[in-house]
Amino acid sequence: MVRSPVLFLAARYLLPLLLIFSVFLLLRGHNEVGGGFVGGLVAASAFMLYAIARSPSAARRLLPVSPPALIAIGLAIAFGSGMVGPLSGLPVMTGVWLAEPLPVLGKVGTPVLFDVGVYFLVVGICLHILLTLAEE
């Protein structure tokens, strides 16, 4: 990949912005346009931008856990959110909500948790595939 100094520098600043934006998309999804899928895709795009600007291994170093681990974490959170219902005798995947909305996050419940799981999973999947291909 051709090294472009503009891209190199821009990526360094765009990455955190894009990540914040992706979390923003994730959290507003329940009431406005957004959601876990789009949030995850934007986050993945952010890392891929960094990978193109620098190198795939640099992008990998930025990740706290490896992409397969992200996939596993995402699946675990998603499944876990479904299992909250049975703990109080409700059927699997019943939406269980906290009574009062929290200040920044808004209403918190198992569907939001599910969305978070989807977010991690999408990030993990996209990065797993793309970084593997980029390193070939």
Partner 1 sequence: MEQIILLGVTLVFIAPVLRRILGEWAAGIYALLPLSALVYLIIQLPEVLKSGSVVTHVSWIPSLGIDLTFRLDGLSLLFSLLISGIGFLVVLYAANYMHGHLQFGQFYAYLLLFMTAMLGLAWSDNLIGLFVFWELTSVSSYLLIGFDHDSLKARKAALQALLVTAGGGLALLGGLIWLGWETGTLEIAQINAQGELIRSSAAYLPILVFVLLGAFTKSAQFPFHFWLPGAMAAPTPVSAYLHSATMVKAGIYLLARLTPALSGTGAWSTALITAGLLTLLVGAFLALGQTDLKRLLAYTTLAALGMIILLLGLGTPLAVKTAMVFLLAHSLYKGALFLMAGGIDHAAGTRDVDQLGGLARSMPWTALGAFLAGLSITGLPPALGFIGKEYIYETALDTSLAAWLVPMVFVALVSVTAAAGWIFLKPFIGQRKAPESDLHENSILLWLPPLLLGGLGVLAGLFSQATADWLIKPAVGSVLATDTPVKLALWYGFTPMLLLSILTVLSGFLVYSQRRFVQPFVSRMTAALEAISPESLYNRALDGLKTLAAWQTALLQNGYLRIYLIVVVLAFTGLVVLAMLTRVILPAPLTVTSPHFYDIVLAGLIISAVFAIVKASSRLATVAILGLIGFSVALIYLMYGAPDLAMVQFAIETLTVILFVLVIYKLPKFSRITSPRARIFDILVSISAGILMTVLVLIMTLQPLESKVTSYYVESSLPEARGRNIVNVILVDFRGLDTLGEISVLALAAIGVYALVRFKSSAENRISGKSLLAETEKPIRVTAHSILEETVIQSDRSGRMKEEGVEK
Distance of CA 101 to the CA centre of its chain: 22
Q: Report if residue 133 touches partner 1, rule: CB under 8 A.
A: yes
Helix, coil or strand: residue 35: coil
Measured CA to CA, the distance from residue 101 to residue 12 in angstroms comes to: 35
Tell me which residues in 41-80 interact with partner 1 (CB under 8 A).
41-42, 44-45, 48, 52, 67-68, 71, 74-75, 78-79
Q: Is 39 exposed, middle or buried (0-12, 13-18, 19+ CB in 10 A)?
A: buried
Q: How far is the CB of 133 from partner 1 (least distance, A)?
A: 4
Q: Report if residue 84 touches partner 1, rule: CB under 8 A.
A: no
Q: Report if residue 18 touches partner 1, rule: CB under 8 A.
A: no
Helices marked H in the chain: 5-28, 36-53, 56-62, 67-87, 110-135
Positions that interact with partner 1 (CB under 8 A):
1-2, 25, 29-38, 41-42, 44-45, 48, 52, 67-68, 71, 74-75, 78-79, 82, 93, 95, 97, 107, 109, 111-112, 114-115, 117-118, 121-122, 124-126, 128-130, 132-134, 136
